[in-house]
Amino acid sequence: MPVNIKGKSLLTLKDYTKVEIEYLLDLAENLKRKKMMGIEGKGLKGKNIALIFEKPSTRTRCAFTVACIDEGGHPEYLGKNDIQLGYKESVEDTARVLGRLFDGIEFRGFSQEHVEKLAKYSGVPVWNGLTDEYHPTQILADLLTIKERFGKLEGLNFVYIGDGRNNMANSLMIGCSKMGINFTLIAPEILWPVDDLIDECKIYAQESDSSITITDDVNQVAQADIIYTDVWCSMGEEEKAAERIKMLKPYQVNKGLLSKTGKKETLCMHCLPAVKGNEITEEVFEEFSQVIFDEAENRMHTIKAVMVGTIKI
């Protein structure tokens, strides 16, 4: 069945079916191949894209900018001091203005409600570049990287370890359960995702014939094909650093943890930026640096697929 996601926003992967996600991954592979061959893209020719950044970024900003230019579009960066989103002007009114001037809007900030209002009122596709709750474009890059390494997604065993209630843990659990990847989250109970999201993802997992496991036992990394971690303190939580380091030290990705998988071919992944010596040792980071920076590059290819796939003709 042909997939048509023209005009569809990407606010969270909960809104996308397995088939639609597969379509985006296939499109990303194709666009990546064309870029490597030097074939100029035209998927965004004549399109103007607003890039709203309340939170600073390296990978997200660069990926959206390069992807847009690669496909013939014009990206316009709007920092937190460039527009009055939500304080001098309502999000609803800002959305209605931007929707008349731009063909698509990326939003990276704090509030999931803001990105949802932009999508509701702008009339153009809106793409979530990160909120406190979700980070869907990162997960698409992760899924593409895993597919490139293993040649498949279904049936793999994925372990996320560390801070289990941040936007990455939430989004990885959604993405894995949608795509038939067995997902295990290992974290102190106080840092587990909310029950409603766990229950929702268990339904996705049932539909895709995979499993969801939430535990505080680091021995549950056994048989992991992928071990994934993220910073212990998300942006805006710096005051919790000392508390988190003490709490999460037993959940560090290190050689000892890797030895518990029972597999020599287990991959370690990280969405960056990394605090080496906290969530992952420098030794393990450097051992798996190739796959980690493949992830970073794949942000651009998958973001390009999202924009090309959803922009209105």
Convert 37-57 into a string of H (helix), E (strand) and C (coil): CCCCCCCCCCCEEEEEECCCC
Res 238 pLDDT > 80: no
Name the nearest CA neighbour of 96 among 128, 77, 123, 70: 123
Domain ranges of the chain: 13-135+297-310, 138-296
Distance CA 156, CA 289 (A): 21
Are 268 and 289 contacting, i.e. CB atoms less than 8 angstroms apart?
no
pTM higher than 0.95: yes
- Asked: is 138-296 a CATH 1.10.510.10 domain? The reply is no
**Catalytic site includes residue 108:** yes
Q: At the top level of CATH, which class does the domain 13-135+297-310 belong to?
A: alpha beta
Q: Which residues are annotated as a binding site for carbamoyl phosphate?
A: 57-60, 84, 108, 135-138, 271-272, 299
**Catalytic site includes residue 135:** yes
Q: Quick one: average pLDDT of 75-99?
A: 92
Asked if the domains at 13-135+297-310 and 138-296 fall in one CATH topology, the answer is yes
Residue 78: strand, helix, or coil: strand
Spot the catalytic one: 108, 244, 270, 301: 108
What's the pLDDT tens digit per position in 102-119? 999 999 999 999 999 999
What's the pLDDT tens digit per position in 150-200? 999 999 999 999 999 999 999 999 999 999 999 999 999 999 999 999 999
Q: Quick one: average pLDDT of 296-301?
A: 98
Q: Quick one: average pLDDT of 191-210?
A: 98
**Catalytic site includes residue 96:** no
Mean per-residue pLDDT of the chain: 96
Spot the catalytic one: 233, 244, 271, 301: 271
Residue 262: strand, helix, or coil: coil
Are 139 and 13 contacting, i.e. CB atoms less than 8 angstroms apart?
yes
Are 85 and 93 contacting, i.e. CB atoms less than 8 angstroms apart?
no
**Catalytic site includes residue 149:** no
**Catalytic site includes residue 82:** no
The pLDDT of residue 84 is 81
Spot the catalytic one: 68, 70, 103, 138: 138
Are 24 and 306 contacting, i.e. CB atoms less than 8 angstroms apart?
yes
Q: Quick one: average pLDDT of 309-313?
A: 95
Residue identified by tokens 């088939």 is 19
Res 241 pLDDT > 90: no
Residue 229: strand, helix, or coil: strand
**Catalytic site includes residue 271:** yes
